[in-house]
A and B are shown apart, each in its own frame.
Chain A
Amino acid sequence: MAKSQSAMLDRKKLMADPIMVLTIVVLITFLTLFILYPLAILLVDSFYGGNGFTLATFQRIMAMPNFITAITNTLKVGFLVGILSTIVGLLFAYVEVYVRVGKAVGGLFKVVSMLPVVSPPFVLSLSMIMLFGKAGLITRFLLGIYDNNVYGFWGIVIVQTLTFFPVCYMMLKGLLKNIDPSLEEAARDMGASRSKVFLTVTMPLLLPGLGNAFLVTFIESIADFANPMIIGGSYDTLATTIYLQITGAYDKEGAAAMAVVLLSITLLMFAVQKYYLEAKTAATLTGKASRGRMLIEDRSVSIPLTILCALAAFFVIMMYACVPIGALFPTWGYKFTPLTFKWFGQVFTKYKGLRAFRDSFVLSLIAAPITALLSMIISYLVVKRRFKAKGFIEAVSMLAMAVPGTVLGVGYIRGFSGGVFHTGFLQGIYGSAAILIIVFVVRSLPTGTRSGISALRQIDKSIEESAYDMGADSFKVFMTVTLPLIKDSFLSGLVTAFVRSITAISAIILLVTPQFLLITVQINEFAEKGSYSIACAFATILIVITYGAVLLMNLFIKFFGTSRKIKEDSHV
């Protein structure tokens, strides 16, 4: 059968829409140049030595004992963090969905799921050191332990688990809500005990979802740069080793080859997660719960579970609270009173805080709308349109999700410091604000695209078709129908992109030049030097900014967003 005529007609119809064609071309160029090309150059760099194909670079890095240690370290941490986060996440999700809990506990849950979103990635490492380190508030002054060592394997594992378990919690909560309660009721009715129901019905249904949660945190863990940097001590992971290889040893080829190794691991995990587990999760949990679930009121179940969760939540909140409080003590670990604002003052008087905040703020403010708009356009094209390059656009923007920031950073250094393919083309952007903004955009694009796609899938395809049918071209349809209907998703994408950008560090730390002072880079520096009070003061102001942005967004959505009624109505 020949489908050539419809292909030809579809092409003609597409060409009749120049704005659409231009958008697609611009998108493909952007994705190729700033995602595919930097990754490709890493491969080229690490396999190409002066005169042709070579494995010498790989042989060289494999011979480095500290690189091999870094690989095993990374995998060990990732594995354990994946398991622990999944378990803690499951506990929280189960209690929220299945057990009747008090209002206060419910509120705690909300805070816990919200905190990691608004805070910079390394905040927990800071508070870990300040609470449990050698001069830790808890270890030293409460328990009288003087030589507690938080640096290293366990430090990273605990901090990463606390950072990433809310992700698992949110994922698993969604899945548990989709389990039809009548399945479990049927098992209870047949005589199974509660624990039996959990083991034979709930768990098997949830298994692919648990695997999914595990892999997502596994990837997050091995891609994480900031926490191992601050709390790892001499315990190096791949991300920190790559960073040191480039900034310490100035070995760019070696770093490129290491980045290829790290990328291979995350890509492999990502492929398993995306193409195997996600499909399986969707297959086992398709049904929407037909009606509400009878919450467990049995005290022998609810009290221990609630206490466990409340303790965990309280611990997490305490860790976060430690940062602003720590910034108020005159000298951390020695002098606690009187509380003082001197560190906050020094941020601005001594450490060029104003410039740092201004640079970070302005760059993120420029990146956010670009990211939000790009991700909405990509979602629109992926969900609502049909054209040849659609698969490419979808695949590359999702691929960015699996690329650790450090890898991207190395790719940009190799790809742009000498211009594209070392030809000098586009060399000007290296070291400029433009490249920082581009990195911000690329790093936030996958999250935005994913939320855009799921928002658009909720909207009946025929709504856009009807506008198209009435005589609107693609641009008009997007502006007058699509965008207004996903306004909320656009706004939250805007803020998420802003928050992610202003708190980003892993890729940016490799690319930033002295002419820009970025807050996260500053905090990292102070933390490295052991100036925790000033680091805390910086971090506190940063959290206030991000939290303010989130509050502003919620207010905005409340007053200007699509009303709930319309939303419910638009996906009949």
Chain B
Amino acid sequence: MSKVKKGVKLEHISKIYQDPKTGKDFYAVRDTSLTIEPGSFVTLLGPSGCGKTTTLRMIAGFESPDEGEIYLGDEAINALTPNKRDTAMVFQSYALLPHYNVFDNVAYGLKLRKVAKNEIQDRVMRILDLVELTGMEGRMTNQLSGGQQQRVALARALVIEPSVLLFDEPLSNLDAKLRVSMRTEIRRIQQEVGITAIYVTHDQSEAMALSDNIIIMNKGVVAQMGTPQEIYYHPNSEFVADFIGEANFLTGALEGLEGDRAVLNIEGNPTRVPAKADMKSGETYTVVLRPESAVLADQGGLPCKVILSCFMGSYQNYHVMVGNTLVKLTDYNPKNKRIYQVGESCHLVFDPESVHIL
């Protein structure tokens, strides 16, 4: 597409809603500032009620922010209505116009823009080709499968060549398998078109698979923003660690520092973990241990007791108690490995590099 790519900037955005039950006002989004680079794919990820959809709808113009300003490129767009904004949204429920066929659905935005008839024909067919729906243009939308409807919705948003594409949990109505193939598809198309995309989801694997950057939101504020790797390996809070992937939390008081290692007393065992700046002796710290980052062994590491051992096919699932702390492990490719049974005592072993200190 020939258009100049535009980024999106949110400056100190807040949105206040009234709780319908108590009548009290609360912040759905609070003092949020974001910069989304032109051409990047950014996901807003968080549990329900975290403010991600509200943020997206403010960018689209359906909601008006109570504080702050939204910029599309260099233009402040707060006072623009959705139909005047250069954004296009793909809805969770597809929101196709049920009285139009596929072609007319995709052509709707172009007709509103008074594009010449033969150009509409060209552009619609080109986009339908991109989303692999060629030959379907005469179908009514209710004759399509969920995945196909979603492609129509995507085509309809793409065909008007917006500066920014907005996705509101577009895959949550599809079944699991289709979800996986559609998200690859969405990523492929976004890369091909090179458009700026903002994607709302509560599904972390979707966020991981799609995004250049993930923004994790919680209770109306941004908890962390970064690449998928940064967020997975270096979460900045228990919330983020727990929300992205599975996480075990081990806590212990600092006994001392050994170069770039800190020694924490975890359940009575001095344990070496990566150090961070400004650590104080005697204070308690938490480390994040991913289930796949540790293994069970007959010796070394932290002594523990197996309370659940379960074969899952590609991995063996363990729950072990380290003192009073429950640790969940996934041991991949368990064939020909020693399997620990419930009640056995053993040791939890991990590389200090594979844990992250909060």
Contacts and interface: CB of A to CB of B under 8 A. Distances in A.
Interface stretch (B93-101, B229-237, B239-247): B93-101
Contact of B97 (A2, A463, A471): A463
Interface in A123-174: none
Contacts, number: 115
A472 B112 contact: yes
| Chain A interface main SS type | helix
Contacts of A2: 16, 66-67
Nearest to B89: A469
Interface string B19-33: 000000101000000
A388 interface: no
A1 B66 contact: yes
A17 interface: yes
A17 B84 CA distance: 11
B9 interface: no
A565 B84 CA distance: 33
Contacts of A16: 79-81, 84
Given A463-B95, A471-B109, A9 B64 contact: yes
A569 B95 CA distance: 10
Contact of A569 (B78, B89, B108, B141): B141
A471 B109 CA distance: 6
A13 interface: yes
A489 to B, nearest CB: 14
Contacts of A465: 62, 82, 89, 91, 95
A568 B99 CA distance: 12
A13 B79 contact: yes
Interface string A451-492: 000000000101101111111110010001100110000000
Interface string B305-342: 00000000000000000000000000000000000000
A190 interface: no
A483 to B, nearest CB: 10
B357 interface: no
A289 B49 CA distance: 29
Contacts of B89: 465-466, 469
Q: Point out which of B25, B63, B83 has the most chain A C-beta atoms below 10 A from its C-beta.
A: B83
Nearest to B17: A3
A6 interface: yes
B356 interface: no
Contact of A485 (B65, B83, B98, B109): B98
A285 B29 CA distance: 35
Contacts of B88: 469-470
Contacts of A1: 16, 25, 27, 66
Given A13-B79, A16-B84, A470-B156, A462 B66 contact: no
B98 A566 contact: yes
A471 B98 contact: no
B87 interface: yes
Contacts of B93: 460, 462-463, 572
B184 interface: no
B250 interface: no
Given A1-B27, A566-B99, A572-B173, A13 B65 contact: no
A435 to B, nearest CB: 38
Given A1-B66, A462-B92, A566-B140, A467 B108 contact: yes
A565 B25 contact: no
Given A1-B16, A9-B78, A470-B88, A566 B142 contact: yes
Given A460-B95, A465-B95, A471-B83, 20 more contacts: A1-B27, A6-B16, A6-B63, A6-B64, A9-B64, A12-B79, A16-B84, A463-B93, A463-B98, A466-B156, A468-B82, A469-B83, A470-B88, A470-B156, A471-B112, A562-B99, A566-B140, A568-B142, A569-B98, A569-B142
21 contacts: A3-B16, A7-B64, A9-B65, A9-B78, A16-B84, A462-B92, A465-B62, A465-B82, A465-B89, A466-B89, A466-B96, A468-B81, A468-B83, A469-B88, A471-B84, A472-B108, A473-B83, A480-B108, A565-B142, A566-B98, A566-B142
Closest 4 pairs (CB-CB, A-B): A9-B64, A470-B109, A466-B95, A569-B142
